Amino acid sequence: MDLPIPTPNADTRPYWDAAQQGRLVLQHCSACGAVQAVPRSYCGACHSNALIWRESNRRGVIASFSIVHRGPTSAFRDHLPYVLALVDMTEGVRLMLNVIGTDRLDTQIGDPVEIVFEPRGAEGFKMPQAQRSRV
Amino acid sequence: MTPRKQHTACITGVADTAMGELPGSTALGLHAEAANAALKDAGLTAQDIDGVLCGYSMTVPHLMLSSVFSEYFGISPSFNTAIQAGGATACIMLANAVALVESGACRHVLCVTGDNRLTGMTRDGAVAALATVGHPEFEQPYGMSVPASYALVAQAYLHWYGVSRDELSAIAVAARKHAALHPKATKRDPLTLEDVANSRVIASPLRLLDCCLISDGGAAVIVSAADAARDTRKPVRVLGSGQGHTHEHIMAAPSLTEFGCKASSALAFAQAGVTARDIDVAEIYDSFTITLLAELESIGFFEKGEAGKAALAGDLSLGGRLPTNTHGGLMSYGHSGAAGGAFHIVEAVHQLRAEAEARQVRGAELAFVHGDGGILSAHCSLVLGQE
């Protein structure tokens, strides 16, 4: 069974549209400078609506992770075990992603990762994912 | 911070239903059973209730659960609403009931919960429904689940504080020892550190026996105004309450090792005029071993990295420094959603009334109760004391 793909809304569409082009974009507040992970109509720090999109450098580190052996739905049960991770991006935001790649089960906290794009479903919807950086 | 007014409200009735796998049970039937039992416990009748607070049910998802319940039960309260804050629901219901009776809006408020999520839906269905606390676009498509999210906290804890497998396991073992003393607990057979360590991995580092149960069950708590409480059997005082809310989604949590329970408990302790050291018995939301460990340390009962060691040393057991979850908690007593958090309140009241039988903490005068909703997202703390 195909893994789920998100249903973008007016707040989040630029994030997912950029992902389809292989770009990771993040919302920056031009009033206070805050960067936010989940896109919104307003800045979660100062509540301004002066938000602009900037391309991320796609680098981060593993803040925490879990190797999941019991999936929440049948789609994920076809992909066990998978690695669920919180990734701290150099821009200062935290994303939830899967660590993918052949060495994914070796993931440790503090590992540097880069964002890659994984196609899902018949249409190949591209999901930002994390891959451990080759040193 | 301006000191808050002292609370005057009392808990006048508590009850929970049978627990575990209850074929033939319904969510509303469990609500009604718990409500009747709590009324009997208080020595009140349904006509005395002028306020109703409900939580939520996964088998009866509804926009107006409190209206559905009141119709089902056959009462027409002058105040009626539902509250949804995941595992913090029961404590937040109680805090709202306190505000209602102290404002004069109500005299007796029935807080009632129940769900038949074990027999009324599949276990897979329950796990999938619970995962909807995850962000629909930024967490759920990555296979987020509630156990996996708590596992992210556990992994961070292991990394930063060197918590050992045995320390996590000791939290589950301590709860099981208490459950063995409670005739209604779901899991009463002996549990060892090895059993927990050898149970299958759900989401590393959490294993099956680090996780709470999925149960059918219900619970009700009646909160009464001070003067209205005089006619009841054995009231217990609400001395302090507080909430703390830092995030909903775990990806947005400001920390993976400090949570809103720090703020909620500080408010509750300050209002009650006590400190963590004064607490005789604690009933704290324990959806996973890591949940209790993180809360015990964030609240300040133990230093960082010390709660697991304390559990191993027996400090959380009867006769220990802080007997905790004396009914067996969510891992061994039972967990039916909003009712799961209410079981902690019921047990605290039983302890303060010296009605906890084999699990009685001798001389228990002050109890701390805590609920946590989401992924350590919504917190509500209560300090309860003898009348």
Which CATH number do you get for residue B220? 3.40.47.10
Give the C-alpha separation, B134 to B375, whole Å. 9
Out of B140, B156, B159, the one facing A4 most closely (by C-beta) is B140
In the 8-state DSSP scheme, what is residue B20?
A: B
- Residue B247, domain member (yes or no): yes
Mutual angle of helices B289-299 and B146-161, in 10-degree steps: 50
Token pair, residue B171, equals 């939290």
Give the C-alpha separation, A20 to A118, whole Å. 10
Give how many domains chain B has, as a whole number: 1
- Residue B235, domain member (yes or no): yes
The CATH number of the structural domain formed by A57-135 is: 2.40.50.840
On whether any CB of chain A is under 8 Å from the CB of B153, the answer is: yes
Give the C-alpha separation, B214 to B224, whole Å. 31
Check CB contact under 8 Å for A6 and B251: no
On whether any CB of chain A is under 8 Å from the CB of B275, the answer is: no
- Show residues of chain B in contact with A88, CB under 8 Å: none
Give the C-alpha separation, B233 to B31, whole Å. 22
- Give the H or E element holding residue B150: helix B146-161
Neighbours of B199 (CB within 10 A): 17
On whether any CB of chain A is under 8 Å from the CB of B254, the answer is: no
Among B residues 123-152, those touching chain A with beta carbons less than 8 Å apart: 124, 127-128, 130-131, 135-145, 147-148, 151-152
Check CB contact under 8 Å for B138 and A38: yes
Check CB contact under 8 Å for A109 and B155: yes
On whether any CB of chain B is under 8 Å from the CB of A63, the answer is: yes
Out of A8, A82, A94, the one facing B143 most closely (by C-beta) is A82
Pick the closest to residue B43 from B229, B237, B219 (CA basis): B229
Which pLDDT score is estimated for B382?
98
Q: What is the DSSP string of A102-121?
A: TTGGG--TT-EEEEEEEEET
Give the C-alpha separation, B330 to B193, whole Å. 18
Range of B378's domain? 10-121+213-386
On whether any CB of chain B is under 8 Å from the CB of A12, the answer is: yes
Mean pLDDT of chain A: 97
B304 Cβ partners below 8 Å, 6+ apart? B161, B257, B297
pTM above 0.80, yes or no: yes
Check CB contact under 8 Å for B252 and A38: yes
Distance from CA of B154 to the nearest CA of A (A): 9
Give the C-alpha separation, B271 to B216, whole Å. 35
- Residue B179, domain member (yes or no): no
Check CB contact under 8 Å for B142 and A67: no
- Show residues of chain A in contact with B252, CB under 8 Å: 37-38, 94
In the predicted structure, residue A135 carries a pLDDT above the cut 70:
no
Torsions phi, psi for A119 (to 5 deg): -75, 140
Neighbours of B78 (CB within 10 A): 11
Out of A7, A67, A72, the one facing B131 most closely (by C-beta) is A72
The answer to whether the beta carbons of residues B384 and B369 sit under 8 Å apart is: yes
- Residue B189, domain member (yes or no): no
Q: What is the DSSP string of B105-122?
A: S-SEEEEEEEEETTTSS-
Which pLDDT score is estimated for A134?
79
Check CB contact under 8 Å for B142 and A96: yes
Check CB contact under 8 Å for B201 and A37: no
Per-residue pLDDT of chain B (387 residues; tens, 9 = 90+): 667 889 999 999 999 999 999 999 999 999 999 999 999 999 999 999 999 999 999 999 999 999 999 999 999 999 999 999 999 999 999 999 999 999 999 999 999 999 999 999 988 899 999 999 999 999 999 999 999 999 999 999 999 999 999 999 999 999 999 999 999 999 999 999 999 999 999 999 999 999 999 999 999 999 999 999 998 999 999 999 999 999 999 999 999 999 999 999 999 999 999 999 999 999 999 999 999 999 999 999 999 999 999 999 999 999 999 999 999 999 999 999 999 999 999 999 999 999 999 999 999 999 999 999 999 999 999 999 998
Which pLDDT score is estimated for B315?
98
Give the Å distances, CA to CA, from B243 to B104, B124, B338, B367, B372.
22, 32, 17, 17, 10
ipTM over 0.90: yes
Give the C-alpha separation, A114 to A89, whole Å. 9
Strand ranges in chain B using DSSP code E only, listed in sequence order: 10-16, 51-54, 79-82, 108-116, 201-203, 206-207, 216-224, 236-245, 281-284, 366-373, 378-386
Strand ranges in chain A using DSSP code E only, listed in sequence order: 25-29, 35-36, 51-55, 59-68, 82-89, 94-100, 112-120, 125-132
Parse chain A into domains and list their residue ranges.
7-55, 57-135
Give the Å distances, CA to CA, from B179 to B238, B331, B371.
26, 9, 19
- Residue B260, domain member (yes or no): yes
